[in-house]
Chains A and B, each alone.
Chain A
Amino acid sequence: DVKVTQSSRYLVKRTGEKVFLECVQDMDHENMFWYRQDPGLGLRLIYFSYDVKMKEKGDIPEGYSVSREKKERFSLILESASTNQTSMYLCASNKGGGLGYGYTFGSGTRLTVV
């Protein structure tokens, strides 16, 4: 069964901490994405990557950075966590090329910043 795995289901961090959210996929997908999901706001794109060492800003990149050193792993980094970054974070991946067929999502990481 194909999978996108997020390292933590729940995280609690303190304001100012550096936070790493890890995502690994085993489908040899080229594209990987990080979204955050908040009530009433839906899924908003933070960063995405079309290839190893490649990254592109999404709609709300401020306060975040990403790393893609290997094809299967896409990490989201909160440089200095703040309370407004409390959210559900979803990683997704899909195949590259013109006919990608939607996303496979990870189970999500619910991050609380106190």
Chain B
Amino acid sequence: GQNIDQPTEMTATEGAIVQINCTYQTSGFNGLFWYQQHAGEAPTFLSYNVLDGLEEKGRFSSFLSRSKGYSYLLLKELQMKDSASYLCAVRVRDAGNMLTFGGGTRLMVKP
């Protein structure tokens, strides 16, 4: 099976930078996804990494190291609307296109 760990909660200040880490143990790794989920709403896709390195998309970036089983989501210039849960999810080769999710990190942005 897969084991995916991420911190339960984080707090950061508006305008700052925050890094949310995700570690995973899996065989047949075939991609890592980050989703954002506001309270009471469905998760929405943020980023996808399948090769090592950094993927940048505006204020959000995601990094992957396959050898270390490690990813992070970097949020820059934090805004109050970034207060949400951030879900790390892994896809494995033998499981078709099914994703396994971590428990999520609840980020609170304070003024």
B40 CB to nearest chain A CB (Å): 8
B101, A102: Cβ atoms closer than 8 Å: no
Number of interface residues of B (CB under 8 A): 22
Mask for B19-30, Cβ within 8 A of A = 1, else 0?
000000000000
Do residues A41 and B103 form an inter-chain contact, with CB atoms below 8 A?
yes
- Does A105 count as interface, using CB distance less than 8 angstroms? yes
Asked if A48 and B98 sit within 8 Å, CB to CB, the answer is: yes
B87 at the interface (CB under 8 A from A): yes
Whether A105 contacts B48 in the complex (CB less than 8 A), given A42-B87, A42-B104, comes out as no
* Contacts across chains A and B counted by CB atoms under 8 Å: 53
Segment of A13-21, A68-76, A92-100 engaged in the interface with chain B: A92-100
* Chain A residues whose CB sits within 8 angstroms of the CB of B7 once the complex forms: none
Q: Is the CB of B48 within 8 A of A50?
A: no
CB distance from B1 to the nearest CB of A (A): 8
Chain A residues lying within 8 Å of B40, measured Cβ to Cβ, are 108, 110
- Roughly how many angstroms separate A42 CA and B99 CA in the complex, as a whole number? 12
The verdict on A40 contacting B98 (CB below 8 Å), with A90-B42, A102-B48, A105-B43 known, is: no
Chain B residues with Cβ below 8 Å from A45 are 98, 100
List A contacts of B91 (CB < 8 A). 100
Q: Which of A43, A90, A105 has the most chain B CB atoms inside 10 A of its CB?
A: A43
B residues apposed to A, CB below 8 Å:
8, 33, 35, 40-45, 48, 87, 89, 91, 96-104
